[in-house]
Structure 1
Amino acid sequence: MNEVESRVAAGVITELVKQTVYPIKHAVTSKWGKSALKSEIELIDAYEKYLTKSKEKYSKTKTLLYKRTPKDLYSFYENLNVKYEEQQIDTSDIRSILEVSNRIIITGTGGIGKSTMMKHFFQNSIDTTFLVPIMIELRNLNDRTNNGEIDLVDYIYNNIVDFDFNTKKIYLEYSLETGKNILLFDGLDEVKNEILNDVILAIQKFGHKYNKCPIIVTSRPTDSFIGWNEYIEVSACPLSKSQALSLINKLDFDTDIKKNFYKELDERLYDTYEDFASIPLLLTIMLITYDNNANIPKELHEFYEQAFSALFYTHDASKGGYKREIESKLSYDRFKKVFSHFCFQSYLNDDYTFTNEKVLSYLNESKRKFENDSDFNTENLLDDLINSVCMLVKDGLKYVFPHRSFQEYFAAIYTMNLLDDIQEKLFNEIVHGKSDCFDSRYVEILEQLQPDRFAKNFLLPKARELNSMINEKSYIKILSLFYMEAVIGNKFLAFPINDTTYFHIFDKILKLEGKVNGGWDKNEISQLYKKIIKKLGEEVNGIEFNQLNELGLLEDMLGIINFYKEIEIFSKGVEKIEAKLVTQSLSSEDFLKNL
């Protein structure tokens, strides 16, 4: 902050203090008389010292780019919008959000910037309101040694005393009673479960007692806020394209790299990687990756590999070459191997968020897996994952991936190194049973990384079973695997997809052959509908494939859905995969003979 800015800030604080002290003075003298009032000069001094020191603290923060040296908040901060009902609210001025309510809960996922937003609110409330802000990082309540009811006023007072608020607690209480403060409770999700209810109760009781003071609480999304009837819940919005570009423009980074990345972000990267580019933390990871490689690859697996490598080897931009030590002392390859196993285990167990106990349990299991070539301390590895390579983010009391696709990528990396018979067993007994199997990046990345082995181990076993049914002409059985019973409504007929592995395998092989499943003729479906109604009456609302067969209408349905044509294409696709595998096997034998 330059001299002019310092003087402006000092003037703002002085005016704010006056607006705060006078109501307190009036309240005290009205109740107790002038003799009870502490020296007005001392009271002004206490507030000025508090605001000056706390403003300084919350004006700086560390970032992924500057891990050692805190940077000025407004040198890089991009205002996030919050969403209330269907309306987006600009948070550049705290008064906009206070117009919605003086009781606000802001929810958002890890990495979106809730805590940074609260630091902005602290600064902005000093500049734009006559309210003295008080920031309480709720995770610090976890360190309380005494159990039972939480005296939040006492806790707040002790916090602000640390910022040189050298006056009696009663003056804080008068300040709260007259509504001269705004309370910023950051990170409710970081409070331990065993005291969470006590903290919630303390905040609610505090809000009832000091109902003139605005209160803002941040947390990750949770159902716990259903009972907070006095509070309005708003959600932090991801960065829009213009906001993402603005953020990149503000970052203190190599000018040429930033200029080129900005251009590509505008032209294609934001649209291609919106899930990443709209989250401040992940957008920063994209920039670091771009810096290391001068591009962001189009293939997903290449992007994740480059991002991990960039983060593992990244330097602190504020130190001109400083590289944070890898505390676990693992090399890049060993670190990647251990982390891949961690992701593989947790992905198969559907674990995406972790308590401290659970994450260490998984890491210890990975350590045992590679104990012959990787000796490390799991606590150090966890520290590396959070602070060095940023593959885990502390979200409240839990750990989460900065983006779930990182877990899927590294799980796929581990899977790729398994032998064929183990891969096939894994896919058929575990992976195919996962509800999101065919929608996951895990499967998509495996197909990119090992297309031939993917076809052999993932597609072929189930495809052979389907081919056997086709050869036996078990058409009703196949239809039952692909579709639920036909649904009949008011002048329509539909065939809802039965979300089974067989349907997706069939669909995948059709796509490999350049054929897209579906595209049925509406007129033919309408004709079948009329035939069914004629035979069963208009009261019918569903019909099984066996019934269609008994009514002599199965062939009509098979014609409508292009069944015969599609199973022919499917069978040819399976034959191609089989033939390719035979060719590869013969090639391997010839190779071995020539060794």
Structure 2
Amino acid sequence: MTGTGAEIAVAVRVLTPLIKDLYEGGKDIVSGAFKKWSNQGNARKIARKIASVGNVKTIWQFDKEVPLKDFYYASSIIEKPNGKKKQANSIADLPPGATVIEGIVGQGKSIFLRYLCVQELSENSSGHLPVFIEFREMKPGQTLFQFIVRELKSYGLNADDDVFAFLASSGKLALLLDGFDELDGGMISDVVYELERYVNNFENITIIVTSRPDCDIQKSSAFHVTRLAMLDNSDYMPFLERLGLPKLRANEIVTAIQNSPSEVSQLINTPLMLTLTVTVYRSEKSIPPELPEFFEALFTTVFTRHDKTKPGFVRKHKTDIGERALQKFFEIFCFMAAQRGKTRTLTSEEFGATFEQAIFYSPDVKCSLEAFKFDMCKVACLLLEEGLGDVTFIHKSIAEYFAASFIKRQQEAAAQKFYEKASNSFEHWRDILKFLSRIDQYRYLRFYKIPSDRSTLEIFYGSQSHATDESIKEYIRRGVRNTTFLLANEARQPHLMGWRSTTITSLEKQLDGSLSKELLFSRFIDVIVKNIPPKPRDVPGAVVFDEDRARSRRVIEVPGTALVDWIGIDPFVKAIKVGMQEIERGLTEAVLAAEELKQNIF
């Protein structure tokens, strides 16, 4: 446990009235169950049990537990309906009744729930008896009630159905249930049913469940969903001071974050990312200005965790293959994950399969899946274990950058093969290509951008050696032949809602697959947006697709050919030609840049 004598004394003083009220109210209703509570020393025992929930391991000290009170910066929630941030220091700061606390990886859902638990021992107490339970401990065949009874017995109660019913009806019981997403899939419906039964049977019960987004508990009408707020500039200074940084050093780091490019600063919006950024700053004495450099520094820092002024210090890893070799293996792992489209979360099975695939292509690497997972999740914290065996990258761009770094290290033939493949599956590789355009610039230009831009321009040539007005008109007419546009006439203000294409020859499908093609399609759409018919029903072939009289809203489906004819094809041709000129300029610049980079090699 935990807590100084003075802290336990405060906790006992806070708990004593609560325990006394429950004892007086329950001793006659559930005879014998509260017998131990007649002992004045029982409040101290309960205080110590609750206080133990506040001892956690952190990435600063993952080898021993530290009390939350020594470092925790209280999370904020998003209030409804105004969407404003509100710092939550007590259960009383949350909506009453049953609440789901929703947060993404690294936001500190579990630690927030532990904080609320131990706050019931402080002057910020909401007057509840907290019962903290981790869903990950539940196994198939067990019920939530069994765990509730277990915890109540640790408080000195002879708990059963009647005792629970009394406590739940009293308005003094708070069930704090951590990690709904860590439940076994086969148990979810039973647990949701059990929780809904408690909410329906005991109107005064308080239940708080933590979960990542899009789980079944959020779908229950019995629960409010409250989102944890992301960190912003106003949080940085107090957060860093709670970590124990001197005010001068904390101010240096905040200034460095604020002066960093937006692509770096936008990443630093969770407690985990901010804490990792501090480790980078401590090592590098600055925050790298570019995202690739930031990720390189992050990987090195999280595995050494030491100031560069301390030479010779090497942290032992379970993989025991050396930092550089481990980074290369992590790059292969990230690339294999990206091939699967899994740059955010992998199930236990997907993680294992990806690891085996990476090992197959790394004959010199000798490490176990368990050791690799430990080093990535517990030492580096670049991945986190969530849910029932799920493993999540702390940020999607981490997987994308290190996957791109893997391509950068490949021989030219292999890299060319990748870029050619990416040309045919642009959407899949979009974000990785974005990194490659910066860290593998020459080969990105030579094997991807230049061929891609040339291909885009050629689709408008028709039978000519260059694009003409007629060839562009023919391409547009052919492309919109099987496309319909959805125009919403809402409050007499028509606007474009979207479009639907039925064949692969549609303009949308043809102008998809590269940044240059997307540019031309966006130019085409801009013409429609600027020339929406004031009365969409007047366009030949238009039909009512959907209607909501209460909102004075009508959605009209308009054939593509008819809409182009109504607007006139010339504005579309002009827009496409302007877009093609942009691509041509970009292509010329790319060719010159590629040649310059080639010369720089020598």
* Structure-1-length-normalised TM-score: 0.81
* In the alignment, structure 1 residue 7 sits paired with structure 2 residue 9: yes
Secondary structure in 1 matching 2:365: coil
Give the structure 2 partner of residue 451 of structure 1.
441
Write out per-residue CA displacement over residues 426-446 of structure 1, whole angstroms, 9 at most, x where no aligned residue. 3343465253654x2x22211
Matches of 2:99 and 2:567, distance apart in 1: 63
Shift of the 199–315 alpha-carbon distance from structure 1 to 2, 3 Å rule, reads farther
- Could you list the per-position Cα deviations for residues 241-281 of structure 1 after superposition, in whole angstroms to 9, with x for gaps in the alignment? 2123210121124765434113323x434955454222000
Aligned equivalents of 1:535, 1:181: Cα separation in 2: 64
Per the alignment, in what secondary structure is the counterpart of residue 277 of structure 1? Answer: coil
Q: How does 1:463-482 map to 2 (within 5 A)?
A: 463-469=453-459, 470=461, 471-473=465-467, 474-476=471-473, 479=476
Q: Is the 8 A contact 1:122 1:133 kept in 2?
A: yes
Contact 2:261 2:289 in 1 (8 A): no
* Structure in which a larger fraction of residues adopt helix: 1
Q: What SS does the aligned partner of 1:498 have?
A: helix
**8 Å contact from structure 2 (residues 456, 516) kept in 1:** no
* Residue 104 of structure 2, aligned match among 102, 109, 112: 109
Cα-to-partner distance string for 1:511-535 (whole Å, 9 max, x where unaligned): xxxxx97998999x76x989x9999
d(CA) in 1 for partners of 2:152, 2:33: 20
Would you say the 8 A contact 2:76–2:228 is kept in 1?
yes
The DSSP-based 3-state class of the residue aligned with 2:107 is coil
Match of 1:90 among 87, 91, 94: 87
261, 279, 283: which is aligned to 2:274? 283
Structure 1: segments with no counterpart, 5+ residues = 511-515
Whole-angstrom CA distance in 2 between matches of 1:274 and 1:247: 16
| Counterpart residue number, 2:360 | 368
Q: Is the 8 A contact 1:16 1:126 kept in 2?
A: no
1:569, 1:426 → 2: CA distance? 26
Q: Residue 262 of structure 1 aligns with which residue?
A: 254
Question: Match of 2:403, SS?
Answer: helix
Q: Distance in 2 between matches of 1:53 and 1:94?
A: 18
User: Contact between 1:301 and 1:409, CA under 8 Å: does it hold in 2?
Assistant: yes
1:112 partner SS:
coil
What is residue 168 of structure 1 aligned with on the other side? 158
Whichever residue aligns with residue 133 of structure 1, its letter is P
**Distance in structure 2 (CA, Å) of the matches to 1:522 and 1:226:** 39
Distance 1:571 1:520 in 2: 20
Instruction: Give the deviation of 1:183 after TM superposition.
Output: 0.8
CA distance in 2, matches of 1:323, 1:199: 46
Q: How many residues align?
A: 554
Deviation for aligned residue 1:208: 4.0
Residue deviations 1:511-563 (CA, integer Å, cap 9, x gap): xxxxx97998999x76x989x999979999756579969x995445423x2x4
Amino acid at match of 1:27: I
* 1:196-233 Cα distance to aligned partner (Å, 9 max, x none): 22332333334444443211111111251355222111
Answer yes or no: is 1:132 the counterpart of 2:129.
yes
Alpha-carbon separation, structure 2, partners of 1:21 and 1:322: 57
Question: CA 1:483–1:58 in 2, change beyond 3 Å: closer, same or farther?
Answer: farther
Match of 1:73?
Answer: 68
Given that residues 137 and 187 in structure 1 are in contact (C-alpha distance below 8 angstroms), is that contact kept between their aligned partners in structure 2?
Answer: yes
Structure 1 residue 61 displacement after superposition: 1.7
* Residue 50 (structure 1) aligned with residue 28 (structure 2): no
Q: Match for 1:182 among 159, 174, 177?
A: 174
- Is residue 2:258 matched to residue 1:248? no
CA distance in 1, matches of 2:562, 2:172: 74
Task: Look up the equivalent residue of 1:505 and give its one-letter code.
Answer: S
| Bigger shift: residues 188-197 or 132-141 | 188-197
- CA distance 1:47–1:181, shift in 2 (3 Å): farther
Instruction: Say whether 1:571 aligns with 2:573.
Output: no
Q: Hey, what does 2:113 align to over in structure 1?
A: 118
> Does 418-427 or 187-196 show the bigger shift?
418-427
Whether 2:404 is the aligned partner of 1:415: answer no
Structure-2 change in CA distance of 1:58 and 1:40 (3 Å): closer
Aligned partner of 1:498 in structure 2 is 508
Q: In 2, Cα distance between the equivalents of 1:315 and 1:584?
A: 36
Q: Which 10-residue stretch deviates more, 177-186 or 398-407?
A: 177-186
1:132 and 1:182 in contact (8 A); partners too: yes
**Structure 2 counterpart SS, 1:182:** strand
Q: CA RMSD in A?
A: 4.0
Indicate the SS of the match to 1:185. Answer: strand
Which region of structure 1 is more displaced relative to structure 2, 87-96 or 570-579? 570-579
* Deviation for aligned residue 1:583: 7.3
Contact 1:261 1:290 in 2 (8 A): yes
* CA distance 1:461–1:68, shift in 2 (3 Å): same
**8 Å Cα contact 1:18/1:44 also seen in 2:** no
Mark the CA change 1:413 to 1:177 in structure 2 (over 3 Å): closer, same or farther: same
Output the CA distance in 2 between the equivalents of 1:220 and 1:572. 46
* C-alpha distance after superposition, 1:376-415 (max 9, x if no partner): 1121111111011111111222110000010000010011
Task: Please list the CA deviations of residues 289-343 of structure 1 after superposition, one character each: whole Å capped at 9, or x if unmatched.
Answer: 1111111122111111111111111159xxxx99752101121121111111111
Partner of 1:344 in structure 2? 335
Corresponding residue of 1:513: none
Shift of 1:453: 1.2
Once the two structures are overlaid, the 10-residue window that deviates more, 77-86 or 128-137, is 77-86
Give 2:553's aligned residue. none
Tell me if the contact between 2:77 and 2:227 (Cα under 8 Å) persists in the aligned partners: yes
Structure 2 residue matching 1:276: 3-state secondary structure: coil
TM-score when normalising by structure 2: 0.80
Mapped contact 1:46–1:167 kept (Cα < 8 A): no
For 1:23, the equivalent position in structure 2 comes to 25
C-alpha change, 1:48 and 1:204, in structure 2 (3 Å) is: farther
| Cα 1:354/1:426, change in 2 over 3 Å | same
Instruction: Assess if the C-alpha contact under 8 Å between 2:331 and 2:402 holds in 1.
Output: yes
- Identity in percent: 18
